Amino acid sequence: MDLGLEQVQSLVGNVRLFRSSRTRRRFLVHAAIALAVLAATVLLVRRYVPILTDASALRTVIRGFGALGPLVLVLLQAVQVVAAPIPGQVLGLVAGYLYGAWWGTLYNLVGITLGSTAAFWFSRRYGRPYVERIVHPDTLDRFDAIDDDRTRAALFVFFLLPGLPDDALCFVGGLTRLPLWQLVVIAAVGRAPAFFLVNVVGEFLGAGRLAASLAVAALVVSVSLVAYRYHRDILAYFES
């Protein structure tokens, strides 16, 4: 699809957001590598693209890899944090169905940790101009207002509550002064409870326990809706 003149000007103008020509060159190198990886990935999984958001079909595909299934699941979960083409909850259901709640959660968290680490690193490496191309400005502005002493608690709460944009928070978190290892721990520990519950839903579905799966799913959805409804108030609590 051809770009209009205004779109081209917008893209060119965005380049000026970089702090220096050196930063711009680093970003372009990263972009070239990312495009190469993306092209290779598309060629490899092209036949599976239409089913990436279909839990049943995706389950069949992963099961088809046999002993390598967990590795495929981990890689998909890591990619979805950075690129977000696959809802993490879908992969949680698949993992719970195939491997049970405990092993499924473990595989999900390994993938989430790898993806979160990459997002944090990209954010810290390429700075705010890079993040501004990914995260909505309003989100960045709100997190800029958070008191430095409350950054850890704020990030943990937002990772803990399902239904909030936790993948975007990985890029926002990379702009904070927190050490990378602390960011990774906060993201992994904060996300663990919600992912465990989603994996429980998947396990119950696999065992044919429809009523139990619906009950747990209703709990997750309810908490997600409440968290989304009051996320601005929660964020305001941590602002200085």
Tens-place pLDDT, residues 72-103: 888 888 888 877 645 677 788 888 888 889 99
Domain closes at, from 51, 75, 90: 51
Number of independent structural domains in the chain:
2
Share above pLDDT 70 across residues of the chain, in percent, rounded to a whole number? 70
Q: Which domain holds residue 213?
A: 53-238
User: Do 170 and 108 reside in the same domain of the chain?
Assistant: yes
Tally of CB atoms within 10 A around 7: 10
pLDDT of 183 above 80:
yes
92 and 32 assigned to the same domain: no
Cα separation, 106 vs 69, in Å, equals 13
The separation between the first and the last C-alpha atoms of the chain, rounded to the nearest angstrom, is 45
Phi, psi of 230 (to 5 degrees): -110, 15
What is the reported pLDDT for 44?
Answer: 46
Q: Which of 116, 48, 49, 38 is nearest to 77 (CA)?
A: 116
Q: Are residues 119 and 226 in the same domain?
A: yes
Asked if 58 and 46 sit in the same domain, the reply is: no
State the pLDDT at residue 185. 92
- For residues 126 and 67, membership in a common domain is answered with yes
Residue 71 has pLDDT above 80, yes or no: yes
**pLDDT band for position 200 (50/70/90)?**
very high
pTM, 2 dp: 0.68
Give residue 24's pLDDT band: very low, low, confident or very high (50, 70, 90): low
121: pLDDT strictly greater than 60: yes
Cα–Cα distance measured from residue 164 to residue 157, given in angstroms and rounded to the nearest whole number: 10
Query: Do 150 and 204 have their domain in common?
Result: yes
Residue of 57 and 152 predicted with greater confidence: 152
Rounded Cα distance between 78 and 237, Å, is: 31
In one letter, which amino acid is 176? T
